Each structure stands twice: as structure tokens, then as C-alpha cells.
Amino acid sequence: MMKTILVINGPNLNLLGSREPELYGNVTLEELNRELETVARKWGVNIEFYQSNHEGELIDCIHAAKGKADFLILNAGALTHYSIALHDALKAVRLPVIEVHLTNPYAREEFRHRSLVAPVALGGVFGLGTLSYRLAVEAACSILRERGAD
């Protein structure tokens, strides 16, 4: 049975390609998603995408992923730094998760230096632009394969 990775993007990530391109680049979220589909397909893994600007909708998506997805990749945007509810949702569903960010939060404002996602994530990839996402998908696929997901 084909395994599924769910990529979840939080607030403002729908504006990729036009929002602060000097920080986030010129690639749109749709373009990024197509690229990630290609990576997952090479591994024989299904990949799905979700984006919302609303904390509750992100939590509902994480809850709904239980039993449907095998792995989560999450860029929670600014919610990374203060959403206890998002942390609790990830902890509750007990799915493996990789935290991803286009920029390096530790090289930015001090309030971005704390992640509430990190304590419930297997790991994180950040600061490498869209390559952060590609590496996270590659890692998730590799972990799924190691766990006998072929």
C-alpha cells in the first residue's frame, strides 16, 4: 500500500512568490508543490498538500491526518513560535513530523528563535529556501522506506 506524506503550510505561505521575495524567493506555493510531487513520485510515495491562514483549520487538518497520512511535513509559519495548541495537536496524533522553514529562524528576530513544533518533531530543515522542503520530503521518504513502507 502506497504511503502518504502530508505537507502542511500555515499563515501567509499562500503568498509565496510575491511576499518578501528577498527572504522567501520567487517560487509560488503551487510551483513548490509540483516540485515536491515529482520528488515523492520518484520514491513511490503519495504526497498531499494543505495550506491555511487559520490556526484552528491547521489543527483540524492535523487531526484528520491520523489514519490517512503516514508522515507530516509542517511549516507552521509564525504559529511555530507561539501555538501551544498546534504543538498539542501534533503530539496527540503521534505521526512523525519534520519541521520546515524557508528561512533560518535563528538568523532572524529573536522571537523566531523558539519553536513549539521542534519538541514534537523528528527533526527540522530550515534556511535553504525551497531546498528545505525538498530535503524534508527526501528525508520523510527515506524514513518511511527504512520503516518498511515500500
Binding residues for substrate: 75, 81, 88, 102-103, 112
Q: From the candidates 24, 50, 87, 133, which is the catalytic residue?
A: 24
Q: Which residues are annotated as a binding site?
A: 75, 81, 88, 102-103, 112
- Partners of 98 in the beta sheet? 73, 123
Instruction: Choose, from 50, 87, 101, 133, the residue flagged as catalytic.
Output: 101
CA distance 91 to 73: 14
Residue showing cell 520503516: 147
Q: Does 82 qualify as catalytic in the annotation?
A: no
101 in catalytic set: yes
Cβ count near 58 (within 10 Å): 25
Positions marked catalytic: 24, 101
